[in-house]
């Protein structure tokens, strides 16, 4: 067991997050989009994720969060979403910071066209 524990510590000593940003039509309102940020594959568990509009974080009461959850491989994931007007032309991004990073990962949402 001790050897297994050392193996786990070695494998997961530090794993940076992979960050994805995507949008889909809101299930509540067809005039709205749900913008989602996903950080996955990180270890250790502590991570800071901000969903931003023009570089300013949305207030937490507007954010839906999955909370940090375990992945099957022993790493972790976190998902946060916010609803916006479909025609909002603002610049939105996801900013993630983790102990493994020297600077935050910032992933910007693109322009989405829904047919």
Domain ranges within the chain, ordered by starting residue: 14-108
- pLDDT tens for 14-37 read 999 999 999 999 988 989 999 999
How far is 96 from 18, CA to CA, in rounded Å? 9
What is the predicted pLDDT for the residue at 94? 96
- pLDDT tens for 54-108 read 999 999 999 999 999 999 999 999 999 999 998 888 899 999 999 999 999 999 9
First and final C-alpha spacing in the chain: 55
pTM of the complete model: 0.82
Q: What band does 2 get if pLDDT is binned at 50, 70 and 90?
A: low
> Which CATH class for the 14-108 domain?
mainly beta
What is the predicted pLDDT for the residue at 39? 98
């Amino acid at each position: 067991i001790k050897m297994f524990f050392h193996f786990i510590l070695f494998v997961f000593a530090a794993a940076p997050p992979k960050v994805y940003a995507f949008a889909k039509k809101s299930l509540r309102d067809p005039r709205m989009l749900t913008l989602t940020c996903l950080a996955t594959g990180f270890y250790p568990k502590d991570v800071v994720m901000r969903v931003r509009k023009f570089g300013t974080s949305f207030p937490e009461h507007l954010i839906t969060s999955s909370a940090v959850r375990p992945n099957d491989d022993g790493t972790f994931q976190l998902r946060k979403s916010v609803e916006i007007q479909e025609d909002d032309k603002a610049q939105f991004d996801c900013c993630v910071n983790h102990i493994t990073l020297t600077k935050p990962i910032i992933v910007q949402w693109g322009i989405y066209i829904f047919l």
